[in-house]
Structure 1
Amino acid sequence: MYVTPKDFAKKMIDAGEAKVFMSTKDTVIRAYMAGAILALAAAFAVTVAVNTGNFLIGALLFPVGFCMLYLLGFDLLTGVFTLVPLALLDKRRGVTVKGMLRNWGLVFVGNFGGAFTVAVFMAIIFTTGFSTEPNAVGQKIGVIGESRTVGYAAAGWAGMLTLFIRAVMCNWMVSTGVVAAMMSDSVSGKIMAMWMPILVFFYLGFEHSIVNMFLFPSGLLLGGNFTVVDYLLWNEIPTVIGNLVGGVTFVGAMIYATHHKTSPELGRDEATAIATPAE
């Protein structure tokens, strides 16, 4: 069944409120599992792209990870960036800036832990326990890490701007996927709604902070020609900030402003006056 925008806007605020009051244990576990599943999906998508020679096929299949983690009730940093501020904006009782930052911090740590675990596991697989050179997929991940750190750095501030905009647009799409899942009460409806914006973000190469928590540590383990400082300064930190801006502004605030805080309709006489050209 389709859920109207007015109703799923309220769902978004309710979800943000619930996340603020979630226990530390539950928040970290759910974030850890979300990071791990999304990392596995990224490894899967890169493997498909390398083995088929067609990145579009990998992008078409990547959303399977996002759908799994959402249906299991796990949390990504990109999602809580969008949902939790709405509870604060709506002045829900007990929701504070401190509580919001606590949630974001715990989810970040959990996401990174899950993604890093998978990065280590996949590096072991790609190198047969670090006994051989990385296979084709491992080499590709190393190249991705280089191009999206030192590649940006080589362009200076223009590279930083490009990175930031890619991160903003990423969470515009990813958070649209989070919201889209609230548009339906059925599993199939949720999956179809989520699949579309996640496919768009991945195929266009936008910057997702949690996917990067897998790609870049994995790239370092596999011999990528960049450093931890390169990763943090020329990818992860700007990506987190861009993801925050994209989720809050283009998804959360827009839906809140027009579907939850709907302005009064124009009266018929007023609407007619606006539509009629002045003589």
Structure 2
Amino acid sequence: MMAENETGTVMLPPAKTQEAFVHIGFAKAKLTRGRAFVLAILAGAFVALGASFMLMVRADSTLSPSVSLILGGLAFCLGLFLVLVAGAELFTGNCLMLIGALDGRYPMMKMVRKWAVVYAGNAVGALLAVALLLASGFLSLQEGSVGELAYAVALSKASLDPATAFARGVLCNVLVCLGVWMGSAGKTVCDKLAATILPVVSFVVLGFEHSVANMFFLPLGVAAQSMLGIGAIPLAGMVSNLMFVTLGNIVGGAAVAAAYWFVYGRDVRE
């Protein structure tokens, strides 16, 4: 049976959650490159599964646009839920490692190096998911509507200007990191599921940009383009999207981490 904390609930209060993230970050920083990379591959695949679930839902033309967005957002929750419960290393959530670095538990450069390993692993996981989905005939589902939507999503992302991509990346990872923060404060599977739903649905409905999800959407869109035989998705636009969305994700996640550390983390020393 789960023991209650000192507040009488199974949810950690914000101050204790900040303290927990110092230890979580330390454990992540201690992971060997090999273990971090494998866990990152899993996270990239988990996010890709959530993204493919979303595409399948949104390809249903019988749904109204608003219902399609909301249901698609709920489907996309699968990715973050699997990361939190099954355990994996997700670049966007790992921006909260800044809490432990600010607390002096490990050097900033060690954190940045671990981010690089995880980012690369997430990309491999997303690409593996693309390959398996293509082999499964995913793009031809719903009479080809899934492939058409995959192309449209990738084209829209590759067409974003850098400032828009950056801003949407910031906003996205504020929500994702808040979902990870709240999910880590909970102790049960239901807590973690509940914590992921509103932040993830919000960023999907609002059209914000998630770098790891885009590692899946962009190559899948290129594959759909080949299948449909239509206009090419610009390579420069895809590179620009990933670059500026990634920078935005870092800023958004770092802002959440720094804010909570500033409020709660300094109490130990003051």
CA separation of 1:145/1:173 partners in 2, compared to 1, >3 Å: closer, same or farther?
same
Q: Unaligned 5+ residue runs, structure 2?
A: 1-9, 226-230
> Is the aligned partner of 1:31 residue 2:37?
no
Q: Distance in 1 between matches of 2:205 and 2:80?
A: 14
One-letter identity of the residue aligned with 2:103: D
Q: Deviations over 1:84-124 (max 9, x none)?
A: 222211111xx223311220111011100000111122233
Which of 92, 98, 103 is the aligned partner of 2:114?
103
Which of 138, 146, 154 is the aligned partner of 1:137?
146
Aligned twin of 1:148: 157
Structure number with larger C-alpha Rg:
1
One-letter identity of the residue aligned with 2:89: D
Question: Identity of aligned pairs, percent?
Answer: 29
Q: Unaligned 5+ residue runs, structure 1?
A: 153-158, 265-279
One-letter identity of the residue aligned with 1:31: A
> Is the aligned partner of 1:86 residue 2:95?
no
One-letter identity of the residue aligned with 1:240: T
CA separation of 1:6/1:230 partners in 2, compared to 1, >3 Å: closer, same or farther?
same
Aligned twin of 2:197: 195
Q: Distance in 2 between matches of 1:113 and 1:183?
A: 29
Q: Distance in 2 between matches of 1:190 and 1:98?
A: 30
For the 8 Å contact 1:120–1:221, the answer to whether it is kept is: no
Aligned twin of 1:241: 247
4+ residue stretches of structure 1 with deviation over 4 A? none
Q: Distance in 2 between matches of 1:85 and 1:184?
A: 21
Aligned twin of 1:22: 31
**Counterpart mapping for 1:148-187 below 5 A:** 148-149=157-158, 151-152=159-160, 159-187=161-189
Secondary structure, in 3 states, of the residue corresponding to 2:11? coil
Aligned twin of 1:9: 18
Structure 2 length normalisation: TM-score?
0.87
- Deviation of 1:67 after TM superposition, in Å, equals 0.6
Secondary structure, in 3 states, of the residue corresponding to 2:92? helix
> Is the aligned partner of 1:254 residue 2:259?
yes
Structure 1 length normalisation: TM-score?
0.84
One-letter identity of the residue aligned with 2:191: G
Q: Distance in 2 between matches of 1:216 and 1:66?
A: 19
Q: Distance in 1 between matches of 2:76 and 2:154?
A: 18
For the 8 Å contact 2:210–2:249, the answer to whether it is kept is: yes
One-letter identity of the residue aligned with 2:125: G
- Deviation of 1:263 after TM superposition, in Å, equals 10
Secondary structure, in 3 states, of the residue corresponding to 1:64? helix
> Is the aligned partner of 1:45 residue 2:54?
yes
Q: CA RMSD in A?
A: 2.1
Q: How many residue pairs end up in the alignment?
A: 249
The worse-fitting range, judged by mean Cα deviation, of 37-46 and 114-123 is: 114-123
Q: Distance in 2 between matches of 1:138 and 1:168?
A: 28
For the 8 Å contact 2:42–2:122, the answer to whether it is kept is: yes
